[in-house]
Amino acid sequence: MKGVISLIFFLITGFVVGQFPSRFLSVQEMTQDLDSLLATIEAAHPDPTAYCGESAWIQAQALAQQQIQSPMSTAAFGWVISEMLGTLQDSHTQLNYGSYWRKHLNQGGRVLPIRKRGKWVVKAPLAGLNPGDSLVSINGWSIDQIDLISKTFAMTEGESDVSELRMTDALFSLIMAPFVIQNKDSAVIVYQNPDGKTIRKSVATMGLKEWEAYLKKQDPDKEKAQFTIEGGIGILTIPSFAPKRFGQQHRIIQRAFRKIKNQGLDSLVIDLRNNAGGLSTEVEYLYSYLDTQGHNTPHNIISKSSRLAQTRYPLLNKKWIQKSILHLFQKQENIYNYVFLRSQPLGKQDTVYFHQNFIQKRNVFNGTLILWVNGLSASAAVDFTHAVRLNRRGQIWGEPIMGGMKGTFGNTTAMTLPNSQLQIQISTIRYNYDASWQYDPVPLSPDIVIEITREDLIKDRDAFKEVLKKRSNLRTP
């Protein structure tokens, strides 16, 4: 329903007619793209209707076909595609957001990065805004109107309502670029400061060169794992289970647990907020430092052999390489199972099982564990949170995450639509945490809810750390 409402708004505002850039996709081009996408999902996705059901998926396809009966811009077509894909409730099957942003810039579009939470600004120095400022409108568009579009683009796993809100916030700048800013050199922002004063200001936007220069100034270490000790409590931050340098992340983790042991720390926080996932082997590696028995995840995976899946690590498509690996790595089930699935004939769907726990021999921590998560903790971060909950290893703080207690989709692989050149990510594997073969859409919820206030943003304080200091003011969900 959210997509239907947003499309009606889209048509009323006349954006099909006035959208930048001026080159529109024809009905035939969009039909070909849509047919190509649907055929690829059918061929590659292991179970696209697991959450939504066959009837809802058929209706979503029919609605998309109705919506492309008039020429529209690539940005608008991306909207239609996202609305359809949102029906699947699969966070791994989505428009490639980075490609969408880059395409807008390459076509002469302009951008203005603003991080927000609801209407409150989190970080927006380039827009001249301060944390805690309350956004009212941008270029005449109310924040609610922009969020309505962003919500359509926000893909989440199952019925993750909180994750949908967080994704809507995360996509704000992405959606604002092609629909609100377009190719304008400036944007008019109306907002209220913390004193309640309404302010109107015009700020410069950024083109491709300015954006690239801005990226070069960003801290390259912000995505790196970090370990600190605050108030006698260790805090290990893991931004991703797919780091740029796996060896570096392993060394940081190793040093952290060695320091925890040497200093006799009895409490540890692992921070997975905004961790979008990565490799299950990295989940097992980190968890091995928390439990002498380790943890095996997933229990099994369901995979469908397809040409799309074969585009990942194409050397593995060679039969002699497959045979060699299957012979040499029979006892290493992570490698063996992956290559076994790759060796299956096109169209075949199969299930493989995992039994081996990763065991750590030194510096295993057996003290108090607190796990921090939020609505943007997804995929492999769900794997880790599930392990903590299943094994009763620690207390989970934060908000409901992007996945439940049964598993998630994954191994997302990109396809490019032939005419619009939009990139779409499609799941090629289902990760299951047990053999119940049930798909539970309910997200995993925390033991302790942490709420972020406007005051937290204004004072630049971490609400999670504030609660950690007080060890009070807590409530169960």
* pLDDT, tens only, 367-417: 999 999 999 999 999 999 999 999 999 999 999 999 999 999 999 999 999
CA–CA separation, 364 and 241 (whole Å): 19
Q: What number is the average pLDDT over the span 18-31?
A: 78
Question: At a CB cut-off of 8 Å and minimum separation 6, what does 25 contact?
Answer: 33, 71, 72, 73, 74, 77, 419, 420
CA–CA separation, 119 and 116 (whole Å): 7
* Helix ranges (DSSP H) in 138-231: 143-153, 161-170, 172-176, 208-216
pLDDT per position as a tens digit, 145-179: 999 999 999 999 999 899 999 999 999 999 999 99
CA distances from 402 to 175, 239, 408 (A): 21, 15, 9
3-state secondary structure of 28: helix
CA–CA separation, 224 and 244 (whole Å): 8
CA distances from 265 to 109, 257, 282, 286, 367 (A): 51, 10, 24, 18, 8
What tokens appear for 313 in the block?
A: 């690590």
Helix then strand count (H, E) for the chain reads: 17, 19
pLDDT at 5: 43
The amino acid that residue 133 corresponds to is D
CA–CA separation, 374 and 156 (whole Å): 13
What number of residues does the chain have? 477
Q: Of 139-143, 217-221, 232-236, 357-361, which gets the smallest average pLDDT?
A: 217-221
pLDDT at 377: 97
CA–CA separation, 13 and 353 (whole Å): 52
316 touches 390 (CB < 8 A): no
Question: At a CB cut-off of 8 Å and minimum separation 6, what does 73 contact?
Answer: 16, 19, 20, 21, 23, 24, 25, 178
Mean confidence (pLDDT) of the chain: 92
pLDDT at 11: 43
Question: At a CB cut-off of 8 Å and minimum separation 6, what does 247 contact?
Answer: none
pLDDT > 90: percent of the chain: 87
pLDDT at 250: 97
pLDDT per position as a tens digit, 262-303: 999 999 999 999 999 999 999 999 999 999 999 999 999 999
Asked if residue 476 has pLDDT above 50, the reply is no
Question: For the chain, which domains are there?
Answer: 2-216 (2.30.42.10), 226-411+426-470 (3.90.226.10)
* Helix ranges (DSSP H) in 179-308: 208-216, 246-262, 280-287
φ and ψ at residue 385, rounded to 5 degrees: -65, -40
pLDDT per position as a tens digit, 183-242: 999 999 999 999 999 999 999 999 999 999 998 888 777 789 999 999 899 999 999 999
